[in-house]
Structure 1
């Protein structure tokens, strides 16, 4: 293996750029330079003036000290109080103190750097195909997937550590059971119906692993059974579905709130609806009788061949995933502003309620919206980032091509490494071990992971859409 190849140079250059460009952040630019504005809660004097509460008379030093007593002033105001909140632009000094701000900056910026590394590696490998080198860009992609998973796990963990999140905790448990059932049902579907590639991957892995064990002088019937493998996949899929549950519900609500701003702008309404519906289209692209058969097999009247080749269809799926992610990132500021506007909507809804509320609770209700801005941004960005980089790993390790849409050609699968004579026994065993994980194995693992992550986004956002359409309206 070429230890000082061009890939390592690309990686070192990017690491150096990360250190040099530490003060420049694309994630901070998305939050602070896209015209986002937050709502300021009214102070005690404004609330007293609106509610007609008499102001306290100034007292002496002794009286003032006893009045303060280290506790904030508390009084009651009517819930129907007519309050119009003032706004202020979101700045870097405002967001730096928010919860999960560091995680948000890290995952967005690191994802951008990883995308640059991947593009440079793809350009290099298209000119100089790799022979016995490992693609280092896959390490970067894997780290993005790992960090996204860790962040979503940390967000979900909050529901199990907080005593006030009993409902959210129960929702997570129910979601895990439901997604586990759905995943087990999906994994028993025939490959001719749903082409996620798990069965061919297992067959290839089982055959090559058995040969490897025989070459090493070990007697074995092979690796774990297909049932155990599919159950492990189902458990992983249930965890992913659980982690995507609340992000999906949040995205659905932001989508419906965003549509309120563009009642007359049909183009922006189309973009928002397209952004919301694209996961459903992507899910259908893996259902063979619905899409692949009509596009790559069936010959319609008036034409002499199918609409596109099988390789071109595979590339089309990959390209559409990238387009979906890019569109979501472009619309992200609009979606986040719809979330920030929730502060005023909460007050408008509160006006319809009877009774009174303390000034502290009223101020907390307004301030909490901006306080969780980075949490909402992570719920929006992490699922699509995970889908994107699982797709990129699916493309590269699975032996697909970006150019199959433009010309007809046979896909060149990754070649097996030939062991040289005189190589040490350990290195020979390592090369044989690498032969176990063929392109069929990678296609099965990352094909299922890519499709399931998209499917989880589709299911959770659909549930959120049903709630916003029916239950919330009623």
Structure 2
């Protein structure tokens, strides 16, 4: 009998490949730097002066020789005909973005988790192991946990901002989803069928025997209440975490549709 099963070996192999290949081959980095996204180049001072009809700014050495020591900022009119050049986004450009490394690691982990899950499902279909735990499900659960962590990091960044009203929006949506979750729990399952009550009844029946043996059967209603309160708090937290990513994604989608108004195929 082998010390490690096939799933453990594949999981260790996937983790090792992910660690070794991430600096050289990254699916997340390819998504941003495959040439489909472009950035605008910043114009030089010479171009701005030429469009504004001003003289070219002198070098610091010439200004010191002429007795000019103060560095006045260059001001140009707002109505100049300025056309910015575009350039494909490269990995060097993406590295300066906030949370790019977290994004790259999470997307790569999700890709490897999907590969491990597909392998384990195929392994279960072909070999039909009875005494082995499906490690692919564990990889999927870790992906969900890490996604919540990334969302929480982004929400914390917006929550710390003192300008723009991000903190108020986060709190507003947190209370909104809290109220929505409480309403969903109050409504009977004849109208909203989540399957929560049958599952909770099954868990309660299993816990009842264990609690009666120790004389703690009085804690069963408290356990039910704590579970529901925890579920409501989790829904409120997830709603607050998904607020700003959802709003920014919707705004980006609208901007993309507006920019591709004359390209129906691109809009699809």
* TM-score range normalised by the length of the shorter chain: 0.7 to 0.9
Residue 194 of structure 1: which of 179, 192, 198 is its match? 192
**SS class of match (2:36):** coil
Which residue pairs with 2:50 in the alignment? 49
Structure 1 residues 184 and 62, CA gap change in structure 2 (3 angstroms): same
TM-score, normalised via structure 1 length: 0.51
Structure 1 residues 179 and 17, CA gap change in structure 2 (3 angstroms): same
Of 148-157 and 105-114, the range deviating more from structure 2: 148-157
For residues 44-95 of structure 1, the C-alpha deviation after alignment (integer angstroms, 9 at most, x for no partner) is 222222223333345647817x9788xx862322233332111011112221
TM-score, normalised via structure 2 length: 0.87
Q: Shift of residue 109 of structure 1?
A: 0.5
Structure 2 segments unaligned to the other structure (5+ residues): none
**Could you tell me how far apart the structure 2 residues matched to 1:68 and 1:35 are?**
45
**Could you tell me how far apart the structure 2 residues matched to 1:67 and 1:156 are?**
48
Residue 180 of structure 1: which of 168, 178, 181 is its match? 178
What is the aligned residue count? 264
**Could you tell me how far apart the structure 1 residues matched to 2:80 and 2:63 are?**
34
Residues 234-313 of structure 1: pairs in structure 2 closer than 5 A = 234-263=232-261, 265-269=263-267, 271=268
Matched, 1:13 2:8: no
Residues 451-466 of structure 1: pairs in structure 2 closer than 5 A = none
**SS class of match (2:214):** coil
**Could you tell me how far apart the structure 2 residues matched to 1:78 and 1:265 are?**
33
**Could you tell me how far apart the structure 1 residues matched to 2:95 and 2:132 are?**
41
Which residue pairs with 2:202 in the alignment? 204
Answer 1 or 2: higher relative contact order, Cα 8 Å, separation at least 6: 1
**Could you tell me how far apart the structure 1 residues matched to 2:179 and 2:68 are?**
59
Which residue pairs with 2:25 in the alignment? 24
Structure 1 residues 128 and 236, CA gap change in structure 2 (3 angstroms): same
Which residue pairs with 2:105 in the alignment? 106
Q: Shift of residue 257 of structure 1?
A: 1.8
**SS class of match (2:193):** coil
Which residue pairs with 2:78 in the alignment? 79
Structure 1 residues 180 and 231, CA gap change in structure 2 (3 angstroms): same
**Could you tell me how far apart the structure 2 residues matched to 1:62 and 1:262 are?**
48
Q: Shift of residue 266 of structure 1?
A: 4.2
**Could you tell me how far apart the structure 1 residues matched to 2:169 and 2:105 are?**
28
Matched, 1:219 2:220: no
**Could you tell me how far apart the structure 1 residues matched to 2:61 and 2:264 are?**
63
Query: What is the root-mean-square deviation of aligned Cα atoms in Å?
Result: 2.6
